[in-house]
Structure 1
Amino acid sequence: MTQLSHHGRVALITGASSGLGAEFARLLSKGGAKVVLAARRADRLAALVAEIEAAGGEALAVSMDVSDEASVIAGYDAAEARFGLVDTVIANAGVNADGPATDLSIEEFDQIQAVNSRGVFLTAREGGRRLLASGRSERGRVVILASMGGLHALTGLVAYCASKAAAVMLGRSLANEWSRARISVNVVCPGYMLTDINEEWFTSEAGQKMISKLPRKRLMPIDALSPMIGFLTSDAAAYTTGAVIKIDDAQHVD
């Protein structure tokens, strides 16, 4: 793919300790951004920081619980102290619990909403607040990682789908609210992807059966979103805001 430039940008990525978050951190660093890696697992972050720095990039690890307002603020404070204003935000952190709604505990339901909905709000809001106060809000790029589950009902994922639908509307609403400040806010809704979190399931007999029923009989690779994320976090996305972009390899075609 053609690498869009991210030189001069400071990007904060939540859920950066593995999977898509780590992939986005590598992508933006290669494009020239200084990257702030936010997650609860600091040990995993340290390894990724070392990898990025070994490749010539600049990275900072911050421990962040996106469901906790004080933790989010502290993460942004640390990012600004090291690199300056965060002008690029990828709200990627997310959790899930599957199974019938009748078996889902209220504690599990609340945790999913706390991370996937409130966490997105706190992450995006803090980035927006600082951009608005900086006088440089036109540089702002906010990307929210939702899911095709935010657009389509998925069996056994009631709480997850509800949280991702909330994330979609959060993105659209923030795009509307910040439109005059020229902060671009967009939502990406990926389909089923192969990551380290779900690899065991998709290599199982049941997982393989599920893949065989998909229209293209395959999962998307971990870098399937990279071209779109590269665009939405670059200067080229100045005129793109409020978009809800589904990337799912025809898994759900309306």
Structure 2
Amino acid sequence: MNPLDRFRLDGRVVVLTGASSGLGVGFARALASVGADLLLVARRAERLEALADELRGSGTEVLTHPGDVSSPDDCRAAAAAAQARWGRVDVLVNNAGVGRAVPASRETPESFDQVIDVNLKGTFWMSQACVPLMPRGATIVNVASVLAHVAPRFPQASYAASKAGVLGLTRDLAQEWTSRKGVRVNALCPGFFHSEMTESGSQDLGPMLETDSMMGRFGEQPELDSALLFLASDASTYVTGQSLIVDGGMAAL
């Protein structure tokens, strides 16, 4: 077998959250390019449909499901939509996320809760909803952050806390589900990539990356897509409970 064939997802059903913007759009295109069928989940229905139309034009089977991952009911509804269409979920990519860059002394309970609700609780609720539909050999990829491993260079208490929580959750779910259910669970930890989330702070982040990372630059979407495909596919069948950092060397300094 060609080793590259293990990265293929032909006929696999992938649920991708946070699919309407940023890295999620790139992830959807990458997953489609290796043959996956996609259920795209996000709050912005019009953006989801525009992306779905694009992918369908290339022959991908795509279903959209507007929803908020911070709602357990919405997560269960998304899983039910996948079950009704395909009868199973082979891959879940928990990518939905929000961030707040404010000093901890000025963080409000409402904004802190919102970040935790989406980034951490949403990852759990969607995993809980999908795992009953996942056959042995299925996999979950939780998108965390390099900021779960290192101190943020800017004030982001709620975001850093939520992503560190995702790593703990990843290890626990892997421990519970890998041997018992045959479902692998891993985390993908991006550094700073060009996206809608980083666009507003790019003038400050650029100089920071020049000194605080080995490669001295932002990451580009394809550099993260390949890492996602590794964790989502049979290329990583002996990997579970791990976090894969893709950050240009930031965490190593």
Which interval holds the TM-score relative to the shorter structure? over 0.9
- Corresponding residue SS for 1:188: strand
| Partner of residue 182, structure 1 | 182
Q: Which letter maps to 1:15?
A: G
- Corresponding residue SS for 1:93: coil
Runs ≥4 in structure 1, deviation > 3 angstroms?
none
Kept in 2: contact 1:36–1:61 (CA 8 A) = yes
Deviations 1:154-200 (A, max 9, x none): 13011111110100011111000012122111011111111133224
- Corresponding residue SS for 1:35: strand
- Corresponding residue SS for 1:198: helix
Q: Which letter maps to 1:195?
A: S
Q: Which letter maps to 2:196?
A: D
Kept in 1: contact 2:19–2:25 (CA 8 A) = yes
Aligned length: 246
Kept in 2: contact 1:19–1:222 (CA 8 A) = no
Offset of residue 72 of structure 1: 0.6
Instruction: Tell which deviates more after alignment, 79-88 or 137-146.
Output: 79-88
Task: Map 1:18-167 to 2 at 5 A.
Answer: 18-131=21-134, 137-154=135-152, 155-167=154-166
Give distance in 2, aligned partners of 1:65 and 1:208: 31
Offset of residue 29 of structure 1: 1.1
Distance 1:30 1:194, change over 3 A: same
Deviations 1:5-34 (A, max 9, x none): 101200000000011111111111111110
Q: Which letter maps to 1:231?
A: F
Kept in 1: contact 2:139–2:183 (CA 8 A) = yes
- Corresponding residue SS for 1:209: helix
Offset of residue 97 of structure 1: 0.7
Kept in 2: contact 1:11–1:89 (CA 8 A) = yes
TM-score by length of 1: 0.92
Deviations 1:63-105 (A, max 9, x none): 1210101111111111221222111100000011112100111
The two structures, once aligned, show a CA RMSD in angstroms of 1.4
Deviations 1:46-66 (A, max 9, x none): 000000001111111101210
| Partner of residue 213, structure 1 | 211
Distance 1:125 1:201, change over 3 A: same
Q: Which letter maps to 1:212?
A: E
- Corresponding residue SS for 2:155: coil
Offset of residue 233 of structure 1: 1.1
Identical aligned pairs, as a percentage? Answer: 36
Q: Does 1:6 align with 2:9?
A: yes
Structure 2: stretches of 5+ with no match in the other structure: none
Give distance in 2, aligned partners of 1:100 and 1:144: 26
Instruction: Tell which deviates more after alignment, 236-245 or 51-60.
Output: 236-245
Offset of residue 252 of structure 1: 2.1
Give distance in 1, aligned partners of 2:124 and 2:149: 18
- Corresponding residue SS for 2:222: coil
Instruction: Tell which deviates more after alignment, 27-36 or 74-83.
Output: 74-83
Offset of residue 114 of structure 1: 0.3
Q: Which letter maps to 2:150?
A: H
Kept in 2: contact 1:17–1:45 (CA 8 A) = yes
